[in-house]
């Protein structure tokens, strides 16, 4: 059974993008030493990448190559995606998608990107663990890490660790014991 994981960076004041969906604040931290928690090591454990339409559109606008050519990519949207930059599948029913992902046995699943889809998964018990990399930045606004959704959860802290350049890694499980 596949685990569904979150791996995301946030500002100290709880935003994943600054106003206008900009990530320039995060680019300042490229090349930082995350040791055993490095993005490429994490990505090596992942077989399936799931993202919402906003994250897909952000990635598709990038003039570079498609970042996930060796992964199964699923975009959750009710719209049509014309001429995708790489192979992908589209789903719209989140409950059915969670069941489908749980049945996978070829690697873990990464819930990539925005907080809206992550919250939709968390509301349904569909996110097993989340790693949050808190950067020492105050953005003052933007896209929140966890948009208000009316759901109350009590994740269990697995670990907290100070990393390079003042980054703090928080690792939680969302599975109920």
pLDDT on residue 104: 96
pLDDT on residue 149: 86
pLDDT on residue 15: 97
Q: Residue 113 pLDDT more than 90?
A: no
Name beta bridge partners: 22: 18
User: For 121-143, how does the pLDDT look when each residue is reduced to its tens digit (9 = 90+)?
Assistant: 999 999 999 999 999 999 999 99
Phi, psi of 27 (to 5 degrees): -60, -25
Q: How confident is the model at residue 150 (pLDDT cuts 50, 70, 90)?
A: confident
Number of neighbouring beta carbons within 10 Å of residue 155: 16
Tokens of 148: 């208000």
pTM of the model as a whole: 0.94
User: For 58-85, how does the pLDDT look when each residue is reduced to its tens digit (9 = 90+)?
Assistant: 999 988 899 999 999 999 999 999 999 8
Once rounded to an integer, what is the mean pLDDT over residues 82-96? 94
Check: CB of residue 151 under 8 Å from CB of residue 22.
no
Runs of H (alpha helix) within 24-124: 24-27, 39-44, 53-61, 94-102, 115-123
Closest CA to 157 of 176, 177, 172: 172
Phi, psi of 90 (to 5 degrees): -120, 135
User: For 10-60, how does the pLDDT look when each residue is reduced to its tens digit (9 = 90+)?
Assistant: 999 999 999 998 999 999 999 999 999 999 999 999 999 999 999 999 999
Number of neighbouring beta carbons within 10 Å of residue 109: 27
pLDDT on residue 176: 62
Number of neighbouring beta carbons within 10 Å of residue 76: 21
pLDDT on residue 146: 92
Pick the CATH number of 4-150+169-173 from 3.40.430.10, 3.40.50.1220, 3.20.110.20, 3.30.1300.10: 3.40.430.10
Percent of the chain exceeding pLDDT 90 equals 87
pLDDT on residue 177: 52
Cα distance between residue 99 and residue 47, in whole Å: 16
**Coil/strand/helix, residue 125:** coil
**Coil/strand/helix, residue 120:** helix
């Amino acid at each position: 059974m596949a685990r569904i994981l979150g791996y995301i960076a946030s500002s100290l004041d709880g935003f994943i993008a600054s106003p206008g969906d900009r990530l320039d604040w995060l680019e300042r931290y490229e090349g930082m030493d995350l040791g055993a928690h490095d993005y490429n090591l994490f990505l090596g454990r992942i077989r399936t990448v799931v993202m919402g339409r906003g994250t897909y559109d952000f990635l598709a606008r990038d003039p570079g190559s498609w970042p996930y050519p060796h992964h199964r990519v699923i975009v959750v949207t009710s719209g049509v995606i014309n001429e995708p930059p790489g192979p992908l599948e589209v789903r719209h029913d989140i409950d059915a998608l969670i069941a489908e992902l749980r049945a996978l046995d070829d690697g873990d699943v990464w819930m990539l990107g925005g907080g809206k889809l992550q919250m939709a998964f968390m509301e349904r018990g569909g996110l097993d663990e989340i790693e949050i990399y808190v950067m020492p930045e105050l953005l003052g606004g933007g896209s929140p890490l966890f948009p208000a959704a009316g759901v109350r959860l009590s994740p269990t802290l697995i670990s907290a660790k100070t990393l390079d350049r003042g980054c703090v890694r928080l690792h939680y499980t969302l599975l109920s014991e």
